[in-house]
Amino acid sequence: MSPQRRATPPLLVVAAIVTVQLGGALAATLVPVLGALPTVALRLGLGATVLLLATRPGVRGHGRSGWLAVVALGTTLAVMNSTFYASLARLPIGVAVTVEFLGPLTLAAALSRRLVDALSVAAALAGVALVSGALSIPWAALDHLGIGLALAAGACWAAYIVCSQRVGRHFPAVDGLTLAMLVAAALVVPLGLAQADPAALTPGRWGAAFGVALLSSVIPYSLELLALRDLDARVFGVLLSLEPAAAASAGLVVLGQRLDRPQVVGMALVVLASVTVMRGRSAPRPTAPT
């Protein structure tokens, strides 16, 4: 593999991280007025529509294993988004992100084969806690149901990494992602519409929802799916440790939320952990031709 090709998957992941956090900042303006599930429904419904019009995926010539992978990914997307948005209604966003991030971090640790990688994951976890501010919030003050919802979202996040790889092996380009988004939308949109207040869906909020769909679903999921064709899941999991740091940066730029010194230290920790694992990563497993 050429140096340029080796560098491309990590760059795709970083681009996905930036866009999804910008979308998250935009979604933060919708959840208080629309509710969690209606916001997820708009995000997935509009995102699936955009992908369907852009890709027009083929539905013939795919075996049973390919379709099972699509259904698994679509179900994972539906549950991951719904549980995480529900946790935001009960927990501070920093705590919810930190708890959710235990999913991909656990996956990265499970796939690691070097002591330094395990130590890097531990450093990344400490950095995530610092960036999110979770260390300053007493356990007794937290909503335990909210924590359970965030843990469920984290488990789905780890499953999303695995399912995305499998879908990428069975479908060309982003066809599999489009079909999975349609599955996710079919599961969530009816429930979200049932809870939505039509009067709250002003033209401006429709526009914001469309932006959330692009930034939080269409663009990042497409980039990640392409990256996972050639990127080891362990490396991908630790790269995702940049998510909380990117969220803090998006909060500063979009929402005017300033970073304190512990958060800056946390961002440095997660970046260092990512660089360490990237340097020592194993060769990615070969994927089936598409």
% of the chain at pLDDT higher than 90: 16
Determine the pLDDT at residue 263. Answer: 74
Residue with tokens 């010539």: 61
Least confident range of 68-72, 102-106, 143-147, 186-190 = 102-106
Is pLDDT larger for residue 168 or for residue 288?
A: 168
* Rounded (5°) CA angle 262-101-129: 20
Determine the pLDDT at residue 286. Answer: 32
* 3-state secondary structure at position 191: helix
Is pLDDT larger for residue 13 or for residue 224?
A: 13
* Rounded (5°) CA angle 286-1-124: 75
Residue among 197, 217, 221 at smallest CA distance from 209: 217
Determine the pLDDT at residue 279. Answer: 60
Determine the pLDDT at residue 287. Answer: 33
| Burial class of residue 250 in the structure, from the number of CB atoms within 10 Å of its CB (0-12 exposed, 13-18 middle, 19+ buried) | buried
Determine the pLDDT at residue 259. Answer: 66
78-136 pLDDT, tens digit each: 999 999 888 877 776 667 777 787 787 777 777 766 777 778 778 888 877 777 767 66
Six token digits for residue 4: 């340029």
Mean pLDDT of the chain: 79
- Confidence band of 283 (pLDDT split at 50, 70, 90): very low
- Once rounded to an integer, what is the mean pLDDT over residues 25-43? 87
Least confident range of 109-123, 142-156, 200-214 = 109-123
Is pLDDT larger for residue 30 or for residue 93?
A: 30
Determine the pLDDT at residue 77. Answer: 92
What are the CA-CA distances from residue 52 to residues 190, 193, 256, 258, 287 (Å)? Answer: 19, 20, 35, 38, 25
% of the chain at pLDDT higher than 70: 82
Query: 121-126: long-range contacts at Cβ-Cβ below 8 A with a sequence spacing of 24 or more?
Result: 121/238, 121/273, 123/269, 123/270, 123/272, 123/273, 124/238, 124/241, 124/269, 124/270, 124/273, 124/274, 125/101, 126/266, 126/269
Amino acid at 252: L
Determine the pLDDT at residue 166. Answer: 84
Residue among 247, 221, 182 at smallest CA distance from 27: 247
Is pLDDT larger for residue 256 or for residue 288?
A: 256
Is residue 178 predicted with pLDDT exceeding 70?
yes
* 3-state secondary structure at position 254: helix
Residue among 97, 42, 44, 50 at smallest CA distance from 209: 42
- Confidence band of 266 (pLDDT split at 50, 70, 90): confident
Determine the pLDDT at residue 87. Answer: 82
- Residues whose CB falls within 8 Å of the CB of residue 94, separated by 6 or more in sequence, listed in order: 131, 132, 133, 134, 244
- Residues whose CB falls within 8 Å of the CB of residue 13, separated by 6 or more in sequence, listed in order: 223, 224, 227, 231, 236, 239, 240
Residue among 262, 285, 237 at smallest CA distance from 10: 237
Is residue 201 predicted with pLDDT exceeding 60?
yes
Determine the pLDDT at residue 94. Answer: 67
Its pTM stands at 0.78
242-254 pLDDT, tens digit each: 777 777 777 777 7
